[in-house]
């Protein structure tokens, strides 16, 4: 099992000692996920916090009309999971699906709580992760209510260039809250300018 990228990730936030690294190696479990395979579906309780070693995922919900709404994408060295379902242990309203063949590391809630109790440094590390996620959510919310679709698309291009060969325009449109046709028109307009 390759936990080095995860340990490096943690060390970039706060340096771990050998005992902490060993605990991480023991509690995180590696899984290989095939393209289009789910690691969470609506109605299930999210039992794991997931770190992506290789591959790409999307997290989405499906509305009453059957329309998919992408909330998050995750690639190498990113986290993905239904935080609400994981912490409150309520059935999820979300799906998490692999867009590519992927390799992930997962920790269950019991082991994550043990990590916090036995190694308090991880309280701070996961607090930083939560704060960064909240900052990202606030920025996205403000952008969604104050920017045009074209501005949102240009910002997405600038912030996430690594996604453009990995996710479809339909998925990007869903994430931006526009139709694929509207996104296509935006892309043509930008190409002409």
DSSP assignment of the chain equals ---HHHHHHHHHHS---HHHHHHHHHH-EEEEE-TT-EEE-TTS---EEEEEEES-EEEEEE-TTS-EEEEEEE-TT-EE--HHHHHH----S-EEEESS-EEEEEEEHHHHHHHHHH-THHHHHHHHHHHHHHHHHHHHHHHHHHS-HHHHHHHHHHH-GGGTTTS-HHHHHHHHTS-HHHHHHHHHHHHH-
Residue 190 pLDDT: 85
Note whether 58 and 133 are within 8 A (CB).
no
Between CA 119 and CA 37 the distance in angstroms is 33
Tens of pLDDT along the chain (193 residues) come to 789 999 999 999 999 999 999 999 999 999 999 999 999 999 999 999 999 999 999 999 999 999 999 999 999 999 999 999 999 999 999 999 999 999 999 999 999 999 999 999 999 999 999 999 999 999 999 999 999 999 999 999 999 999 888 999 999 999 999 999 989 999 888 888 7
Prediction pTM value: 0.93
Residue 94 pLDDT: 98
Between CA 114 and CA 58 the distance in angstroms is 28
């Amino acid at each position: 099992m390759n936990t080095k990228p995860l340990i490096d990730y943690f060390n970039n936030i706060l340096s771990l000692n050998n005992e902490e690294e060993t605990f991480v190696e023991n509690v995180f479990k590696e899984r290989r996920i095939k393209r289009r395979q789910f690691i969470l579906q609506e109605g299930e309780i999210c039992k794991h916090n997931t770190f992506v070693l290789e591959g790409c995922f999307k997290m989405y919900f499906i509305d009453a009309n059957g329309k998919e709404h992408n909330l998050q994408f995750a690639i190498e060295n990113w986290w993905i999971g239904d935080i609400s379902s994981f912490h409150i242990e309520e059935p999820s309203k979300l799906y998490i699906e692999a867009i590519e063949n992927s390799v992930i590391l997962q920790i269950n809630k019991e082991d994550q709580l043990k990590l916090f109790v036995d190694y308090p440094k991880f309280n701070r590390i996961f607090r930083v992760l939560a704060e960064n996620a909240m900052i990202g959510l606030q920025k996205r919310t403000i952008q969604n209510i104050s920017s045009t679709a074209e501005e949102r698309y240009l910002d997405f291009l600038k912030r996430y260039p690594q996604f453009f060969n990995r996710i479809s325009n339909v998925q990007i449109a869903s994430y931006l809250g526009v139709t694929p046709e509207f996104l296509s028109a935006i892309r043509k307009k930008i190409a002409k300018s």
